[in-house]
Structure 1
Amino acid sequence: MTMNIKKSLLVLAGTLALAGGAQAADLNSAIKGDHRSKDFAARDQYRNPAETLEFLGIEPDMTVVEITPGGGWYTEILGPYLGEKGKLYAAHFPEDSESSYYQRSLKNFKDKLAANKKAYQNVEVTEFSPQTGREIAPAGSADAVVTFRNVHNWMYRGYEDKAFASFFAALKPGGVLGVVEHRAKVGTSKEDMVESGYVTQDYVIEVAKKAGFVLEEASEVNANPKDTAKHPKGVWTLPPVLRLGDEGKEKYLAIGESDRMTLRFRKPKS
């Protein structure tokens, strides 16, 4: 091999390394950015955003739908990460909801976006309302749909099947569905899942498959072996909610946030 060829290969390798490093740095910058709430950033140790988004295959040029972003924990990361190249649909509570909590949460979220237009320049708020069939994003437009700790809420309202069907409709063929959810022990009844906020991994897979998805891979990146999933006030006993207040607080802080499944599904290409 001549010196010129060797030099060309070294330059190419260096270029590829820089490209990969730049992408990783973009995600890291979004996670470490000054725009993030300190309270939110403190939960990174439990929610592992870099490892989670990498496992789900989220790239900065993708069109992504985030389901019920709440206060915007993941939006603070996804918005800047997708930046100018990508697009984030934030499928929040319905505008016409009669729930004062929903209305307040939606207003606070919109205020958050308006307060930092640079960070959230390519974020569009849509509605997640499975019972009405409204689109979370234009049909077949999304590269990925992601949802974090929400399935138990849909089960409580009885529309988890409709929710997953709406994800399937929004995704392009070959698109990814990423699900992070509090994990119940195998064999937990559906009634106990709804009561506790913990859902069995098998049940989430069953609902996703019913909607047409194929399970591609499961990750333990958000596992917490300290969590027994058996608490007086269900998952809300643990941080960040700490529903029991000071009662047993140190014990529950030592456990940390819940044990969670992290699942990557795929919409078949045909």
Structure 2
Amino acid sequence: MPRSILAAAVLALAVPAGFAAPAAAQDAAAQTALAQVLAHSRRAEDRARDQHRHPAETLAFFRVEPGMTVVDYMPAGGWYSRVLIPYLGSQGTYIGLNPKLDDSLTGYWDMYRGTAEKLPAQAKEWTGGEGARVIGANTDSVPEELHGTADRFLIFREIHNMRRFGWLHDSLVTARKLLKADGLLGVVQHRAKADAPAEYVLGDNGYQREQDVIALMQAYGFELVERSEINANPKDPANWETGVWTLPPSYRGAGENAARRAELDAIGESDRMTLLFRKRA
């Protein structure tokens, strides 16, 4: 039995009816709701990566709850969208935010353009229209009425792209505009070793030094609240010549070499930092 469901069951047995603290009962209900979302058939192909991404533990650490307004930075193929949109529920709002893209970025990157028009329809395909209200935006076209409405701003493995493509400033300024005064910002990011050379962590290899990410966030007015090792992987040396994409699911450089892929599978996906920040006045 998953730990989240077990915890909810134990809580229900341990606290007599009529005596449960409202916060504890609400937390148990949220855990149960999230477990149901994670088990839904729409996630049949996504579920294989749960062992590396730990969505239940990660969203709990980021203190995401049903009914909130949550910004998901660069939703891409919708892996976390298929969790967040139904989990936030009909009283919640999901904002998928993409950066403003330079005209030189084409091909793959075209999917990130015109988010306001594209995302609601994509989300309907991902979730069947179930769950939170869905809003899409790019950093240069965020409606002013959304400013100060977000409870959470989540960045899953995109700090390296923010740095190498010059999106960091506009994206973090937008995060401050969108978040409420007490809003929280969560980061999951491929983690380099603390002594990794500066040229290795500028973005093109995917990995970032944890101390650099914290410093960048602090410079933009976010104070560190807590760190977690939820998404850590000590087997990852984090120094691949071809970057984080050497590891599953990309297997860069492995081709169809079954033995090499097996070696990489034994390591798993990247070592990742998981950080929680609060918007500072």
Alpha-carbon distance between aligned partners in 2 of 1:149 and 1:124, rounded to the nearest angstrom:
21
Residue 166 of structure 1, CA deviation: 1.6
Whether the 8 Å CA contact 2:245–2:252 is kept in 1: the answer is yes
Percent of pairs identical after alignment? 37
1:180 paired residue number: 188
Structure 2 residue matching 1:181: 3-state secondary structure: strand
Residue 231 of structure 1 corresponds to which residue in structure 2? 240
1:87 aligns with 2:93: yes
Q: Secondary structure at the match of 2:148?
A: coil
Q: 1:12 aligns with which of 18, 23, 32?
A: 18
Q: 1:212-261: per-residue Cα shift (whole Å, max 9, x none)?
A: 11000000000001000022311000011111223421111111110000
Aligned to 1:6: none
Q: Indicate how the Cα distance of structure 1 residues 264 and 111 shifts in structure 2: closer, same or farther if over 3 A, else same.
A: same
Q: How many residues were matched structurally?
A: 256
- Which residues in structure 2 correspond to 1:1-270 (within 5 Å)? 10-14=16-20, 16=22, 18-36=25-43, 38-92=44-98, 99-104=106-111, 111-115=121-125, 116-127=127-138, 129=139, 133-135=140-142, 138-193=146-201, 194-244=203-253, 245-247=255-257, 248-268=260-280, 270=281
State the Cα deviation string for residues 136-183 of structure 1 (Å, max 9, x = none).
Answer: 872111111001000001111133233222211211111000000000
Change (3 A) 1:251 1:184: same
TM-score by length of structure 1 reads 0.86
Residues 46 and 79 of structure 2 are in contact (CA less than 8 Å); yes or no, is this contact kept in structure 1? Answer: yes
Q: CA offsets per residue over residues 57-103 of structure 1, 9 Å max, x none?
A: 00111110000011011101000001112111011365996623223
8 Å CA contact 1:136–1:166 kept in 2: the answer is no
Equivalent residues of 2:88, 2:132 under 8 A apart: no
Structure 1 residues 200 and 119, CA, compared in 2 at 3 Å: closer, same or farther? same
Structure 1, unmatched stretches of 5+, are 1-8
Structure 2 CA distance, aligned partners of 1:46 and 1:57?
Answer: 19
Q: Could you say if the C-alpha distance between residues 126 and 120 of structure 1 is closer, same or farther in structure 2, counting changes exceeding 3 Å?
A: farther
CA pair 121-139 structure 1, distance change in 2 beyond 3 A: closer
Q: Which runs of 5+ in 2 are unaligned?
A: 1-14
Tell me the distance in 2 between the aligned counterparts of 1:183 and 1:15. 38
Displacement, 1:10? 3.5
What is the RMSD of the two structures over their aligned residues, measured on CA atoms? 2.4
Q: TM-score under structure 2 normalisation? A: 0.83
Equivalent residue, structure 1, for 2:12? none
Cα 1:103–1:224 change in 2 (3 A) is same
Q: Report how far residue 191 of structure 1 moved.
A: 2.1
Please report how far the alpha carbon of residue 49 of structure 1 lies from its aligned counterpart in structure 2 after TM superposition.
0.3
Q: Is the 8 A contact 1:143 1:175 kept in 2?
A: yes
**1:89 touches 1:136 (CA, 8 Å); kept in 2?**
no
